[in-house]
Structure formats: C-alpha cells, structure tokens
Structure 1
Amino acid sequence: MERLLKQIEFIKEIDKIKFIFRKTKLISSNRNENDAEHSWHLAMMAMVLAEHANEPIDLLRVMKMVLIHDIVEIDAGDIFIYDATKNHTNTEEELKAAKRIFGLLPEEQAQELIALWEEFEAGETADARFAKAMDRLEPLLQNSSNNGGTWNEFGVNYQKVYDKKKLIKNGSETIWEYTEKLINECVEQGILKR
C-alpha cells in the first residue's frame, strides 16, 4: 500500500503540468498549448515517425522521455526556446525539480525517471536524439500552420529557427530534410523573416 500511495501522490502532482502554458499555439489555433498536450503530442509523433530514426531506437524509452521531459517545468517553469535572457538548457533548477518530483515515486521508479530525464537532456543516445528531434519538430509544425505564430510574435528570424531546429538531423536525417524544406517554405511565404 505504501508503494501505491507514493505512485498516486506522483500522479496527482504531475497533474500540474496541465497548467503550464507554452508560448506556441496549437496547430491552426490561437490557443496556447500546455505542457501535457505537448508531451502527449510528442509521444504520438514518436510512435508514428519512429521508422525515420537514424538508428534503431527503443520506442518505449523514447515515449517515456518525451512524456516526462517537461515535468520539471512544474517547479522550474517553461523557458521559451528562443528566450534571449535565459538559456534553454539543463539547469540546476531543473535537476532539483526532477529530483523532487520524480522522488515522490518509489525509489527504483524515481531513479529510472531521473535517469531517463538526464539522458534526454544530454541528447547523446539514439533514443534521446530521436526524442529531441520530436521536441524540436512539433513547434515548427505549429508555427508554420499559424502564419509564423510565435516567430512573428517574438521577432524570431530564420537563422534562430534554423539553428535551433538543426538538432533534428541528429535524430532523423529524413525528418531534417522535411524540416529544412518547411523552414524555407515559411521564408518564401513571408511567415518567417530572414
């Protein structure tokens, strides 16, 4: 019963992720996406697009990574990927959040999720590279469907988008080829400024 109570406490705590709104808006919508929607969408994308990974991946591990990667934002908050004042990288604040939130779970589950979160952040394994590719692709699909969305709202130009999105190539050359084409189409349409 003690194990179950810890798991239930974690499940209740992570409900807070539904209240963390991102800068990006849903595809063809004016409503901001929340972190829970983002994570669910990435898991679906990973499931559908797994065949395009550069290397063999463990889909369950990738799905776990994308489902948990933003849970730390319950404590640390969402950092806009194009934020010029705060770096969008693994911070001490995020690690502290990971240890607190995943630490609500029984020890071995907590350790597993912290390790998966750290692996995602490091982006060095095939699974993490593909998971990160999904994380970078989704906002591009959103912004391209919303006439530039947050790019225009926050004055983000082509070079910034290209520099952040080129990480997709590490997880999938095929998806990167599509991404590069889409970025260039956005420039041609005038929804992404050079």
Structure 2
Amino acid sequence: MQTENLLKQVAFIKEIDKLKYIQRKTKLFNSDRHENDAEHSWHLAMMTIVLAEHSDKPIDVLKVLKMVLMHDIVEIDAGDTFIYDTQKNHTNTDEELIAAKRIFGLLPKEQAEEFIAIWQEFEEGITDEAKFAKSMDRFEPLLQNVSNNGGTWAEFNVPYQKVYDKKKAIKDGSATIWEYAEDLINKSVEKGILKK
C-alpha cells in the first residue's frame, strides 16, 4: 500500500535529480568538463568516509555524510554561487533558506524539519561535524584546481590571498588536512599556477 509518506519521499527523490544539472565552475580532475553539484556532493561523501580519521575532534560520520550530501540541494532553486564571486557573497542567503524550505518541504514533516536543521547546521559551521563537512567542501575544489594547472584560479584570475583566506576554513575541521592543503597552495605559487 502506498502511504502518503512514501509518495512525498518519492516526489523529493525526483526533485533532487535536478542537482545533476547544476554546473559548478570547477572541473573534474585533469579534465575540461565542469563538475555538477551531484558529483561534487558524492565526492565529498567519499572524502568524508576516507578522511574522517583526520578530524581534529570526534565526529558523527553519518551526520557529516548527511551534511555533504544535502548542503548544495538548495542550489536547485538558488543556483551555484562561485566561491570567488566578486558580485555575490558566498554565504547563506534568504534565497537559499527559501529553497531549503521548498525542496526539503516536499518530504514528510519530521524528515523535512530534520533535513532543514542539518542544512542550517552545515551553513552555520559551528559544530565539529559542520566544521569537518566544510573542510571537505573547501578541500575538493583545491585538489581539482591543482590538478588542472590552476583551474578556476587561473581562469578567473583569483589571487593567492583570496584562495588562502577561503581555504583556511579547512583548518577548523582538520589541522592535518590544512597542513597538506596549505602546502599545495604554496607549491601552486611556486609552479606559477596561482599568482601571489
């Protein structure tokens, strides 16, 4: 028997398929093809599983997985905001909250409330889980840009200090991963793929 909950959940599952069409500025590793939001979220989930041991604090890995899989769903309505955009701030906006309420609101009430709360926790970036999730979110495009000879840094003429300032959020979740990331940033300057 089809329950009302099941019908709502299937409607949500169909809606989030649209995430596969949201193109990011970053490109796949060693590639000219732009990554989409669904690929980005999947990659962050795998990174979370693989790199969880490097979190500075004990974390609930399942909660981090929920965060990284859900964090960009709002972009179905709000669109992707490039982290180095000079016109639009890359922070939680009213537009994104409206999107979260609409999209997660397709689910049964309790699930909708839980998912909105998880999304908000990620956006606020205060809990240990949110800090680690944000570390993954900042680390993946760094690796991509390095693999693509500067990638979006070169394409949009993003200077070292701006990259450094955005990426240092990695440190809040993992000092170990930040040490690795900081070294990559500095080596990118040496290689001439990031301008100081």
**Shared fold, TM over 0.5:** yes
Q: Post-superposition shift, 1:14?
A: 0.2
Deviations 1:125-178 (A, max 9, x none): 000000000000000000000000110100101101000000000000000000
Q: Post-superposition shift, 1:179?
A: 0.5
Match of 2:25, SS? Answer: strand
Paired with 2:123 and 2:79, the residues of 1 have a C-alpha distance of: 16
Q: Post-superposition shift, 1:23?
A: 0.1
Residue 71 of structure 1 aligns with which residue? Answer: 73
Paired with 2:189 and 2:20, the residues of 1 have a C-alpha distance of: 33
Match of 1:33, SS? Answer: strand
Counterpart pick for 1:105 among 104, 107, 112: 107
Q: Post-superposition shift, 1:67?
A: 0.1
Corresponding pairs, count: 194
Paired with 2:160 and 2:36, the residues of 1 have a C-alpha distance of: 25
Paired with 1:105 and 1:150, the residues of 2 have a C-alpha distance of: 36
Q: Post-superposition shift, 1:43?
A: 0.2
Residue 62 of structure 2 aligns with which residue? Answer: 60
Counterpart pick for 2:128 among 126, 129, 132: 126
Residue 189 of structure 2 aligns with which residue? Answer: 187
Residue 30 of structure 1 aligns with which residue? Answer: 32
* Structure 1 segments (4+ residues) deviating >2 Å: none
Counterpart pick for 1:173 among 172, 175, 182: 175
Paired with 2:74 and 2:142, the residues of 1 have a C-alpha distance of: 22
Match of 1:108, SS? Answer: helix
**In the alignment, is residue 164 of structure 1 matched against residue 166 of structure 2?**
yes
Q: Post-superposition shift, 1:111?
A: 0.5
Paired with 1:108 and 1:138, the residues of 2 have a C-alpha distance of: 32
- For structure 1, which runs of at least 5 residues remain unmatched after alignment? none
Paired with 1:150 and 1:167, the residues of 2 have a C-alpha distance of: 19
Q: Post-superposition shift, 1:85?
A: 0.4
**In the alignment, is residue 85 of structure 1 matched against residue 93 of structure 2?**
no
Q: Post-superposition shift, 1:45?
A: 0.2
Amino acid at match of 1:160: K
Q: Post-superposition shift, 1:74?
A: 0.3
Residue 39 of structure 1 aligns with which residue? Answer: 41
Paired with 1:116 and 1:64, the residues of 2 have a C-alpha distance of: 7
Match of 1:23, SS? Answer: strand
Residue 149 of structure 1 aligns with which residue? Answer: 151
Deviations 1:84-143 (A, max 9, x none): 000000000000000000000001100010000000000000000000000000000000
Q: TM-score, normalised by structure 2?
A: 0.99
Amino acid at match of 1:82: Y
Counterpart pick for 1:17 among 13, 16, 19: 19
- For structure 2, which runs of at least 5 residues remain unmatched after alignment? none
